[in-house]
Structure 1
Amino acid sequence: MITYPHLKNGASIGVTAPSSGIPAELHKLVTIACNRLEQRGFRMTCGDTVWTQNKAKSASAVKRAAEFNTLMADNEIDIIIPPWGGELLIEILEHIDYENIRNKWILGYSDISGLLLAITLKTGIATAHGTNLIDLRGEFSDETTAMWQPVLSTKTDESILQRSSEQFQKEWQHDDPSPCVFHLSEKTYWKTVSNRNVKIQGRLLGGCIDIIRHLIGTPFGDVQSFRKKYINGDPVIWYLENCELNTTDLRRSLVQMKLARWFEHCSGLMFGRSPANTPVENYTVEDVYQDLADELDIPIIFDIDCGHVPPQITFINWAYAEVEVEEGKGTVVQYFCS
């Protein structure tokens, strides 16, 4: 049975860096974010890995995993939110104590999505793909980002509605900070390969495709065993976002996922806006989506609020979802059901 954690009022947030930590010159960002959350009634605990960064990681794989395991086992910690993503989270997966994972939320994206998906597939505990700690440092959060708290406060057998954002951020402007962190300037428009309105239903799984593709063929990406153990015949909706891949690398990754049978019994795919998707010899990302739609014969939605072009909807790995796109507007209803 799938288990859904529940975020309570005044929860204690554990901050650890299972991928990249924060270099010294940016420590103030963590301090600001923690202060903001404390002002909202949360209690904050930061691990040692948060404050260190060298050779593309916060610490050794063993130390990162140990700190994560410690926070996960601590009854005083209710939710774990890493400061941000990084590059080498995959190193810690073999050191995670999956047998003793507690029923508490883990929230993040980018490199963290590898940990989220692995934990859900290995344990049947739902995980949350959404904002990271650093992006919660603003005086306030935009309406889309702010939904992380209501979503994670949803109780088992209840549902939660999220809507597509009104605007998204085209590019980062770190030298010109915004009160809500992001500079939301571009009109959001969810698209479909068919250019028609679309409605799909199914269980959510996903993450950053750059990262989760590397779980294929490992004990941490066994979608087929997870399907047999936890799925009662429900189809899957995959949500994916691309951080750095050009279109041919994206295509290779999607074909690999298809050949690994990740897309079997899939009712639809969703792709986030991306800063990447660079065309190769006129092979555009729209071509990639069209090829996939033709092969799988399922709806494909793209430019959704997910990933490295904020803001982000909070997606729960293994919630049952109803996703609808109508005239460029999107709605996502997630049901926390077993």
Structure 2
Amino acid sequence: MITYPFLKKGAAIGVTAPSSGIPAGLHGLIKLACSRLEQKGYRTVCGDTVWTQKKAKSAPAVKRAAEFNSMMADSEIDIMIPPWGGELLVEILEYIDFENMKTKWVMGYSDTSALLLAITLKTGIATAHGTNLIDLRGEYWDETTAMWETVLSTASGGSVLQHSSPLYQKEWQHDNPSPCVFHLTEETRWKTTSSSTVKISGRLLGGCVDIIRHLIGTPYDDIQSFRRQHISGEPIIWYLENCELGTTDLRRSLVQMKLAGWFDNCSGLLFGRSPANMPVENYTIEDVYQDLADELQIPIVYDIDCGHVPPQVTFINGAFAEVEVTDGKGTVLQIFK
């Protein structure tokens, strides 16, 4: 079975940087995000790693892991939200105390998704693939991002429905601040490789392909044990997003996942919008999706609200989901069972 944390009102948010910390010139952005959350009744507790960044990491791996483990063990901290992602989270996995992990939400995306997936696979504790802390610094949150609170405060046994966003952000405009952080200008359309209507159900697992592919062959990718111990062999819906991979590198990664058994008993695949997906010799991202759909004989939905082209739906690793797409609009019903 899956264990679901619960976000209570007035929760204490632990902010630690298991991957990258914040350079000195950007400290104000994290302080602003913490201030916004405190205005909403939360308490924030920032660790030392948040404020440092050197050689592509916030601190040495042992220090990052120790701070994360300490906050996870602290009964005064209710939820963990890193400031953002980064590059080298994979270094800390061997030092994480999975055996004694308390039940509390860990939420983030990008590099953090490797930690989220590893926690759920090894412990059966649900984790949240959603907004980073730094993107909560706006005067208000768009309706898609704001659902993180509703999703994380859903009780075990309950359910929560999310809709595809009306609009998404085509590109970051850091020199043109928006009251809600994102500049949402482009119409959102969820696309499919098959018919205009898709309905799939199963247990959610996923993250950023760039990083979670590196779990394959390590002690943190035991999908088969997770299937037996926690979801009784139910089908899986994988949600995936691509940060920096060209189409051939993405294709290689997906084939590796398939050969490693990750897509066994998979009812469907969901792919987020991507700033990458650059064609190689006319091999386009649509070709990648179609090749995978033909091989696996399952529906593939793409350009969904997930990842580095915001906003994003809050996906819960381990939750049972019913996903429907009709004429470019999508819904994700997550059931905490």
Q: TM bucket by the smaller chain?
A: over 0.9
CA deviation string 1:43-73 (max 9, x = no partner)? 0100000000000000000000000000000
Q: Shift of residue 335 of structure 1?
A: 0.2
Provide the rounded CA distance (Å) in 1 between the counterparts of 2:100 and 2:2. Answer: 16
Letter matched to residue 176 of structure 1 = N
Letter matched to residue 178 of structure 2 = S
Provide the rounded CA distance (Å) in 2 between the counterparts of 1:231 and 1:74. Answer: 28
Q: Shift of residue 226 of structure 1?
A: 1.0
CA deviation string 1:4-40 (max 9, x = no partner)? 0000000000000000000000000000000000000
Whether 1:160 and 2:173 are equivalent positions in the alignment is: no
Q: Give the match for residue 107 of structure 1.
A: 107
Q: Give the match for residue 67 of structure 2.
A: 67
Provide the rounded CA distance (Å) in 2 between the counterparts of 1:120 and 1:14. Answer: 19
Q: Which structure 1 segments of 5+ residues have no match?
A: none
**Pairing 1:1-338 to 2, within 5 Å after superposition:** 1-337=1-337
Q: Shift of residue 225 of structure 1?
A: 1.4
Q: Shift of residue 105 of structure 1?
A: 0.1
Provide the rounded CA distance (Å) in 1 between the counterparts of 2:221 and 2:28. Answer: 36
Letter matched to residue 117 of structure 1 = L
Using structure 1 for the length normalisation, give the TM-score: 0.99
Using structure 2 for the length normalisation, give the TM-score: 1.00
CA deviation string 1:128-155 (max 9, x = no partner)? 0000000000000000000000000000
RMSD of aligned Cα (Å): 0.5
Letter matched to residue 284 of structure 1 = T
Kindly report structure 1 stretches of 4+ aligned residues shifted beyond 2 Å: none
Letter matched to residue 231 of structure 2 = I
Give the secondary structure class of the aligned counterpart of 1:99. Answer: coil
Provide the rounded CA distance (Å) in 2 between the counterparts of 1:192 and 1:131. Answer: 25
Q: Shift of residue 290 of structure 1?
A: 0.2
Provide the rounded CA distance (Å) in 1 between the counterparts of 2:126 and 2:219. Answer: 18
Q: Which structure 2 segments of 5+ residues have no match?
A: none
Provide the rounded CA distance (Å) in 2 between the counterparts of 1:14 and 1:28. Answer: 18
Give the secondary structure class of the aligned counterpart of 1:331. Answer: strand
Give the secondary structure class of the aligned counterpart of 2:308. Answer: coil
CA contact (8 A) 2:151 2:314 kept: yes
Q: Shift of residue 233 of structure 1?
A: 2.9
Provide the rounded CA distance (Å) in 2 between the counterparts of 1:242 and 1:203. Answer: 21
Provide the rounded CA distance (Å) in 2 between the counterparts of 1:87 and 1:6. Answer: 29
Q: Shift of residue 122 of structure 1?
A: 0.6
CA contact (8 A) 2:24 2:52 kept: yes
Provide the rounded CA distance (Å) in 1 between the counterparts of 2:124 and 2:195. Answer: 35
Provide the rounded CA distance (Å) in 2 between the counterparts of 1:60 and 1:297. Answer: 44
Give the secondary structure class of the aligned counterpart of 2:258. Answer: helix
Letter matched to residue 276 of structure 1 = A
Please identify, of 159-168 and 187-196, the stretch whose mean Cα deviation from structure 2 is larger.
187-196
Provide the rounded CA distance (Å) in 1 between the counterparts of 2:244 and 2:195. Answer: 26
Provide the rounded CA distance (Å) in 1 between the counterparts of 2:90 and 2:276. Answer: 22
Q: Shift of residue 229 of structure 1?
A: 1.3
Provide the rounded CA distance (Å) in 1 between the counterparts of 2:264 and 2:155. Answer: 29
Q: Shift of residue 311 of structure 1?
A: 0.1
Q: Shift of residue 234 of structure 1?
A: 1.2
Q: In percent, how many aligned pairs have the same letter?
A: 77
Provide the rounded CA distance (Å) in 2 between the counterparts of 1:304 and 1:318. Answer: 19
Letter matched to residue 127 of structure 1 = T
Letter matched to residue 18 of structure 1 = P
Provide the rounded CA distance (Å) in 1 between the counterparts of 2:306 and 2:33. Answer: 21
